[in-house]
A and B are shown apart, each in its own frame.
Chain A
């Protein structure tokens, strides 16, 4: 598809893109540090991925192959909407295959298929500040970052353990980047947190409404905060994916009826599809002959 001639490539004008690229370069140079930037109003509402879209618009090139996911899936409404926006504004090729994409914009998930060197993963971030629930003031949290004063977060995690016996943060788990900055992982489930560590891809985080960009350059040390006697652990499911039988992916729960019946399926639709194509099957897969008839 060809791009809409009424708009500059990638919607934003070149001056704005240059401003964004400078912010991104600074973010890459100081992993985990939140760089303030002059966020623009985008044609999608704040909170719907405007930060990720601005980062994508700044780095996308005519040869890129774009993948957009929301909750791990390519066919969720907002992912469809953002993918269509960039198709219209750049005319670049799009894909649902993680392996084929050079640029992936995501909300709430890291793809299950491991990323490769040269790929860029752009996260949409609602609240970039990891200390925000502990300290609502930006003026305070900036000072806390400057002084690496992260004791409050350790206290919060300790209080979780004291109260519940374990850390009760299920998503948006706080991580320490490169041994220096405390960082918020957009919100991804803690299942995905280990994927950030030493990832060969470039990971960029854009928060449009809050006007911050931060980054993890390839092969950056990313450590979830924990304690020696209460190590970080990820969630597990009681059963495998009902469609592809995967036991190593993040599963969404789908309620089937009002009697408590439910199934678990991969949140990453590309991963699930790839496995099914390779012949993997789950307990609710349609019979083989039916699938062949499709």
Chain B
């Protein structure tokens, strides 16, 4: 007797619902995405209860890594025609007698945070390999003889006076390093700082009042 054969099923699966779902997800991600900016060093920010959001535009960010290395970033401003980054670089070039050509300025405008002595900036812009680029990120020097960070801040203030200042420090950075930068900013008439933190809710009510 021949065995009863199970009817051969077609190996096809109907993928339409899956595709539907995927397209939905894809659309969602594409619409909500704002790309995570590249950062020069891993920084773990301390947490706070503050719910205020950092502004999108007109913000100058100073990154302080655990070892006290300092990186700098400024955006191009709300209006794309302002080109604050390029203008800043031109000003810095004038200060340190370095000229950048139009192509380099344009490329610099599209890049993000940086931290290297001004003499290495050109190499950083021209580098095509990201490894080479990362190696150049040694932190902005801030010795008392040649305080380049002070110049970056001053020139950035001159370029975009409306820019707010954010400080993104690692939780374990010594306070003295942060203080040095805050003093530097205060010398440039910045008295309001935005300290970048993680949100960690903590609410206390009347019940927590000690008797």
A and B: interacting chains? no
Name B residues whose Cβ lies closer than 8 Å to a Cβ of A.
none
Name A residues whose Cβ lies closer than 8 Å to a Cβ of B.
none
